[in-house]
Amino acid sequence: MEFIKNPYKIMGQFREDTSVFWDEINGLYFFTRYEDVRTIQSTKTFGTTFNHIEGFEEELSETDIPLTFVGYKRSDKYATYDNFWKSEEFSLLNLEGQLHKELRGLVAKAFLPRSVQQLVPYMEEKSNDLFEKNKGTEFDMLKDYAQPYSVSIIGKLLGVPESDHLKFLDWSHKIVKMYDFEVTAENANNAEEAAKQFIEYTQNLLDKRRKHPEDDMITRLSQVSEDNNYLTDDQIICTVILLLNAGHEATVNTLGNGLHALLTLDQSFDEIKKEAEDINDIVEELIRYDSPLQFFQRYALEDVEIGGHNISKGSKVAILLGSANRDPRVFENPDQINFKREMKDHSSWGGGIHFCIGTHLARLELGVSFNHILEKQFSLIEEPSRTGAFGIRGFKNLLVSA
Ligand code: HEM
């Protein structure tokens, strides 16, 4: 638990001792330093964990993924969780090569910068309403503000009716529990059930939008094409689930981790506003300082040397984003928040072909929130506890008044 509370101290010790350490239990090489983490994120020598699921043989044989990786079965642990796997089958995060390129190209066509920019007045209104609702009372920054705020924005972008946003929130919470190191049978069953309901719901909405198109992302996903190739229903459903899960949890935890960091600084909000030239500098520095996403796994797709170590083809590696973001080789005084920091290229948005497709939306959404936060006087009611998860780093709750 001490590690979860403050992983940076221990990761810092590891990082100074060695660029890589071997985790016997999980069979993983952990990379700690910025340069290595960025190389693993951005080169095609490493691929994401789940690209070897049965059924991709045909598609993968067209790509540059070594065919030795094709035909890997999904791990026995999850063998019975059909809906969870169905919800992930075409998740961009789990694909490589040509299939990833084509799918990402189509999703990007539907994720129009214009449609994201148009959401700013809605973000302003939603954020103001939520703060107004909680004004003068003790409230939980996560459950009473960040969660409804973030889910309503992604829901609005996708075209999900507001009355169903809470369902999305519940499904998302249950599904993301599958992404940590250890998953209990109860959490896996809950994720399976949530995935089932989520798939049915999205299929239904998609059918409606195919009949009656609207100006929303689900409609656009059903219409975009390249050389007469359209996304299939399964691909659209996986993409909607991915956009909600990837877009929601990281944003909520950035708000929680970020506000907590601001409140523990020895500076008033007015001083912070004076110091930072731009709200984006605040957002980027808070994400670097306490990253909402701490690690990702990859497979080495060929023999490779990283950080002076030989990693053989097929090995599993993990990259520690929070550790990379505090590497003193790259970031001056990394354990301190500095809104004037020149080096802004932290690892928290990922890199290479999986670079976060939602950065534009996330930056706008977080910018609106932190602008509103810095206009208020916040007090921390009690020191919050961490959720206990490492991969998705956040608090259980964050009781404040404003
Ligand atoms: C603070 C907020 C966010 C952070 C820190 C973040 C971080 C990341 C990271 C690190 C990756 C790469 C994962 C990997 O290397 O395997 C990623 C991918 C992705 N993100 Fe984000 N994200 C955020 C918000 C969003 C939002 C708002 C959306 C969309 C609504 C989104 C959608 C995605 C998608 C679809 C991918 C997969 C891209 C691919 O594999 O091609 N993210 N994100």
Residue 130 confidence (pLDDT) above 60: yes
Whole-number average pLDDT of the chain? 90
The lowest-confidence range among 58-62, 69-73, 308-312 is: 69-73
6-31 tens-digit pLDDT: 999 999 999 999 999 998 888 889 99
Cβ pair 334, 328 in contact under 8 A? yes
Q: Phi and psi (nearest 5°) for 31?
A: -105, 135
H helices, E strands: number in the chain? 17, 12
Quick one: tokens of 21?
Answer: 């350490």
Q: What is the mean pLDDT of residues 236-246?
A: 93
Say yes or no: CB of residue 364 within 6 Å of ligand 1. no
Cβ pair 395, 256 in contact under 8 A? yes
Question: Which residue's alpha carbon is at the smallest distance from atom 37 of ligand 1?
Answer: 93
237 vs 245: CA distance, rounded Å: 12
- First-to-last CA distance in the chain? 30
382 CA from centroid of ligand 1 (Å): 31
Q: What is the mean pLDDT of residues 181-186?
A: 79
Q: How confident is the model at residue 1 (pLDDT cuts 50, 70, 90)?
A: confident
Quick one: tokens of 339?
Answer: 């809104």
Q: What is the mean pLDDT of residues 161-170?
A: 90
- In angstroms, what CA-CA distances link 245 with 88, 120, 331? 11, 21, 30
C-alpha closest to that of 50 among 99, 118, 110, 9: 99
Cβ pair 157, 119 in contact under 8 A? yes
Quick one: tokens of 48?
Answer: 């994401």
Which tops the pLDDT comparison, 97 or 35? Answer: 35
261-306 tens-digit pLDDT: 999 999 999 999 999 989 999 999 999 999 999 999 898 888 999 9
Say yes or no: CB of residue 358 within 6 Å of ligand 1. yes
Q: How confident is the model at residue 49 (pLDDT cuts 50, 70, 90)?
A: low
Q: What is the mean pLDDT of residues 138-150?
A: 97
**Domain parsing of the chain, residue ranges:** 2-401
Cβ pair 336, 267 in contact under 8 A? no
Say yes or no: CB of residue 157 within 6 Å of ligand 1. no
Residue 55 confidence (pLDDT) above 50: no
- In angstroms, what CA-CA distances link 336 with 169, 286, 371? 33, 10, 21
Residue type, 248: H
Residue 228 confidence (pLDDT) above 60: yes
Query: Could you say which DSSP state residue 73 is in?
Result: P
244 vs 249: CA distance, rounded Å: 8
Cβ pair 220, 243 in contact under 8 A? no
Question: Which residue's alpha carbon is at the smallest distance from atom 21 of ligand 1?
Answer: 356
154 CA from centroid of ligand 1 (Å): 13
340 vs 332: CA distance, rounded Å: 11
12 vs 26: CA distance, rounded Å: 21
The pLDDT of residue 75: 55
Quick one: tokens of 105?
Answer: 């190209």
Cβ pair 142, 256 in contact under 8 A? yes
267 CA from centroid of ligand 1 (Å): 31
Cβ pair 290, 393 in contact under 8 A? yes
The pLDDT of residue 276: 93
Gyration radius (Cα) of the chain, Å: 21
Which tops the pLDDT comparison, 57 or 277? Answer: 277
**Mutation choice for ligand 1 from 217, 249, 356, 359, CB with most ligand atoms inside 8 A:** 356
284 CA from centroid of ligand 1 (Å): 15
Cβ pair 216, 202 in contact under 8 A? no
334 vs 329: CA distance, rounded Å: 9
Domain 2-401 belongs to what architecture?
Answer: Orthogonal Bundle (1.10)
108-121 tens-digit pLDDT: 999 999 999 999 99
Quick one: tokens of 10?
Answer: 């221990």
**CA diameter of the chain:** 61
Residue 215 confidence (pLDDT) above 90: yes
Query: Could you say which DSSP state residue 25 is in?
Result: T
Q: What is the mean pLDDT of residues 59-75?
A: 43
Give me the percent of the chain exceeding a pLDDT of 90. Answer: 71
Q: Where are the beta strands (DSSP E) in 203-242?
A: 225-226, 229-230
44 vs 50: CA distance, rounded Å: 15
Q: What is the mean pLDDT of residues 163-174?
A: 90
Which atom number of ligand 1 is nearest to the Cα of residue 242? 35
- DSSP symbols for 250-270: HHHHHHHHHHHHHHTSSS-HH
Entry pTM: 0.92
Residue 180 confidence (pLDDT) above 90: no
Give the H or E element holding residue 305: strand 304-306
- DSSP symbols for 136-204: TSEEEIIIIIIHHHHHHHHHHHHT--GGGHHHHHHHHHHHHGGGSS---HHHHHHHHHHHHHHHHHHHH
The pLDDT of residue 178: 81
